[in-house]
Amino acid sequence: MNGEHTPRIVAGFDGRWQHTQLLDRAAQEAERRHLPLTLITDLRRRTGAGRDPRDTHRDDAPSVVAAWRRLTDAVEALRLRYPLPNISGYCLDDADIQPGAFPISAARLLVIGSSGRYNAPACEPGSVSAALLRAAGCPVLVVPENAPRRPLGAHPFVLAAVGPHPSDMQVVKAAAVEARRRGFDLQVLHVEPSHGNSGWGVAEAVKSVPDVQFSVVRTTGDPANALADLGQDAELLVVGSRPGELYRPVRESISRGVLLAPPCPVLAIPRELPVTAVS
């Protein structure tokens, strides 16, 4: 497949040097999936969370040239470090980042940072990441800029957070795929109601992904606290999300809460998507 129909990894890039960790993670995910990587930067976003009050200059030709130069430098740096089939970059206007529009329409995974320009939360309205989140219909990987280092000698694992609803089976399956892809074990944090009747089994969900060692931690307490504790030692945290909760406030949304302050890289799986979308 070629061009607009080629599945790819898409990463949001705001031109900051701090995004090196994000770009490296995006390239690594593209390597794992054997897919091309596309970087997107937004040329004209000057309002909301992405606006610096001191920034008074207009979107003139020099600023556009500077954005292209930063994007080109990032693409070239990644090409030197990663033998990917294709790494490309796009400078887009707000109107170009829409559902169904290329390149976001070809995304199998969207990679964004946990914070945007001027330390604004990446998911807040007005940011480049929020525009990408609104347009994307794929899983989203949020990469913290200052993720804690795993203790030396600690056994790496992928952590999945699930509840009693059977739709969370998709989250477990996606986490098992990620664990197998990395060669790690899977740990499942199962948040149950007080009566302890979950309605579905984690073991049955993992069976569809062979060669994955897994364990289950069950809790009836505050899932946000449990995720914060376990996530500190995880290589990847996989959570489920409802449509829209990642880019607009949703009351009592655990997924959005961990994305705003991720203890480690967080992969959000839209529950209405088939698990094959992240394979």
Q: What is the mean pLDDT of the chain?
A: 78
- pLDDT of the residue at 20: 84
Task: Kindly tell me if the per-residue pLDDT of 124 is higher than 60.
Answer: yes
- Between 52 and 28, where is the model more confident? 28
236-241 vs 157-162, strand pairing mode: parallel
Q: In Å, what is the CA distance from 110 to each residue of 141, 178, 222, 252, 267?
A: 6, 15, 28, 24, 10
In the prediction, which pLDDT does 254 show? 60
Identify which of 182, 221, 142 has the alpha carbon closest to the alpha carbon of residue 229.
Answer: 221
Supply the pLDDT for residue 44. Answer: 56
pLDDT confidence of residue 1: 46
pLDDT at position 244: 54
Dump the DSSP string for 43-102.
Answer: SS--SGGG--TT------HHHHHHHHHHHHHHHHHHHHH---S-EEEEEE-GGG--TT-T
Which domains occur in the chain, in start order? Answer: 3-143 (3.40.50.620), 157-278 (3.40.50.12370)
pLDDT tens digits, 231-255 = 888 999 998 876 555 555 444 556 5
Class of residue 5 by CB neighbours under 10 A (exposed 0-12, middle 13-18, buried 19+):
exposed
pTM above 0.75, yes or no: yes
According to the model, what pLDDT value does residue 219 have? 77
pLDDT at 152: 58
pLDDT of residue 203: 83
Return the pLDDT at 75.
94
Can you state the angle between helices 20-33 and 61-81, rounded to 10 degrees? 50
Residue 47 pLDDT greater than 80, yes or no: no
Q: Which residue has the higher pLDDT, 218 or 107?
A: 107
Lowest mean pLDDT among 101-115, 176-190, 192-206: 192-206
Question: What are the residues whose beta carbons fall under 8 Å from the beta carbon of 235, sequence distance 6 or more?
Answer: 150, 156, 157, 158, 182, 184, 264, 265
**Cβ-based neighbours of 127, under 8 Å, separated by 6 or more:** 45, 48, 49, 50, 116, 117, 120, 121
At 233, give phi and psi (nearest 5°). Answer: -105, 0
